[in-house]
Amino acid sequence: MRAHKFILKLVLEVNMRPINVSLDSTTWELAKGKANFSGWVRRKLLEEVKFSEMVYQYECTMCNHRFFQAKSKVQGIRMVVDCIECGKSAMKTGVTE
């Protein structure tokens, strides 16, 4: 299980991009009350997107093959899937509409 947590941490570090948000005094107080404001913002932004229209890009860790895959109805959005070329682990690298 530790390996999955390590892989997840690496994927998150690669995919995270910093952005500054300007808040007035009222919204700053509201943001301060959130335990994880960045996570809350990410969830709210994703709520606006229709997940059925989103396709996720994966790259194989062994053969470097890149491919796209839709969200699984059963398993949701997976960070690691099997490569469609060689069958080894492929990690999610991006989102496309």
The answer to the question of residue 20 being in a domain is no
Question: Mean pLDDT over residues 33-37, rounded?
Answer: 89
Would you state the pLDDT for residue 27?
A: 92
Position 3 in a domain = no
Contacts (Cβ under 8 Å, ≥6 apart) of 55: 68, 69, 70, 95, 96, 97
Enclosing domain of residue 56: 25-96
More confident residue, 97 or 44: 44
Structural domains in the chain (count)? 1
Cα(54)–Cα(96) distance, integer angstroms: 6
pTM for the model: 0.43
In a domain, residue 7? The reply is: no
Has residue 94 got a pLDDT over 60? yes
Q: Give a three-class secondary structure readout of 5-36.
A: HHHHHHHHHHHCCCCCCCCCHHHHHHHHCCCC
Query: For residue 1, what pLDDT band results from cuts at 50, 70 and 90?
Result: very low
